[in-house]
Amino acid sequence: MSEPSKPQGRKFQLPEHLKIYKNVWVIVEQERGIVHSVSLELLGEARKLADKLGVEVGAVVLGAESPDLNRICGDAIGYGADIVYKVTDPALADYRTDPYCRVMTDVVNTHKPEIVLLGATTLGRDLAGAIATTLATGLTADCTELDIYADNRSLAATRPTFGGTLLCTIQTLAYRPQMATVRPRVMAMPERDDARTGRVIEIQPDLREEDIVTKVLNFIADREQNEAQLAFADIIVSAGKGLGKVENMKLVFDLAKVLGAEVGVTRPLVQAGWATNDRQVGQTGKTVRPKLYIAAGISGAIQHRVGMEKSDLILAINTDPNATIFDFAHLGLVGDALKILPALTDAFGRRLSVNRMAG
């Protein structure tokens, strides 16, 4: 991906009353005591932006008072926050648009951050769309790169458009705060620094449950479902049309089993009914960032590429030496995936079992 190396934004002067907006915020997404990893990735990104601007990083943690919430506040500081706004109320226990939106609007209006970042998740996008409206400010969705225009300190938010075929950089004019949601697994996960210190500002909003129309009746966790957990897999073996027929998917699952990997697929395979859409990697599927991504029989269309190109190591297997995927894979193997997949399964199996005997 390219960087706006010499940032050149729209030239404009920020009105005086907006200059008091300072600091870069991350709204930390937590549900049931679990922090979404994108929030930690964003703290790392917010740190970089704040350092460029010479300001502080704020983390907003919302929820019902609990030990988990305190742990999360500590984590936020460890991952880069200088200030944690800990917003607690029993009505914030589960995510609901209305109370979250009301509270966030107040907190932003009170503390006036210049940038507010959220993960481009179902929660982040739901909330961001609402508060950008109440704050009447600009919001850029699903970003893959963030930077600062040095000349006027404004946020340069870059995002894919038209199915990933183009990138565009979006700037918010004379409105504050500047808001963006950022795609998970695109920004690098920062290292936790236990030595970091920060301050926690406790906020208790005035919420009354009877004023909130929407009630959460139940929560069915995915762990109870049999869905693929692609987004967080360390190793993914993915299949494309090059596999020829649905029966050959077994070869991919066999290799994945030996490696303890998840299986991914391209969109055409989901459309052909070879796999369920929870396994789809790409623009309209999941964005993944595993340590190893093995792409078997995948040509490398842009729609797939945007979902996996940030993987640490990509091995592509394709019969066509001119396949696009070799343009951005790290390792390439020209050959028939149908033959190489079983050979890889065997070879990995042997190497790993030898070690077990030795160990």
For residues 101-140, which are near another protein according to CB under 8 A? 101, 121-123, 125-126, 128-130, 132-134, 136-140
Tell how far CA 48 is from the center of its chain.
17
339 binds another protein (CB under 8 A): yes
Mapped onto helix, strand or coil, the DSSP state of residue 158 is strand
Q: Which of 18, 200, 203, 315 binds another protein (CB under 8 A)?
A: 315
In the bound state with another protein, the residue whose beta carbon lies nearer, of 27 and 83, is 27
Q: 56 vs 262, which CB is nearer to another protein?
A: 262
- Of 230 and 340, the one with the shorter C-beta distance to another protein is 340
Contact mark string toward another protein, 54..93, x via CB under 8 A:
----------------------------------------
Which of 23, 169, 238, 287: binder of another protein (CB under 8 A)? 169
Q: In 3D, which of 283, 33, 5 has the Cα closest to residue 163?
A: 283
Applying CB under 8 A, does 279 fall inside the site for another protein? no
286 pairs with which residues across the strands?
Answer: 281
**Nearest CA-CA partner of 64 in 226, 205, 227, 233:** 205
Q: How many CA atoms lie within 13 A of 80 on its CB side?
A: 23
Q: How far is the CB of 224 from another protein (least distance, A)?
A: 8
Single-letter amino acid code for the residue at 301:
A
Closest CA to 154 of 18, 1, 3: 18
Q: Would you say 267 and 304 are in contact if contact means Cβ atoms under 8 Å apart?
A: yes
The span of 16-24, 71-79, 162-170, 187-195 binding another protein (CB under 8 A) equals 162-170
| Min separation Cβ 262 and another protein, Å | 14
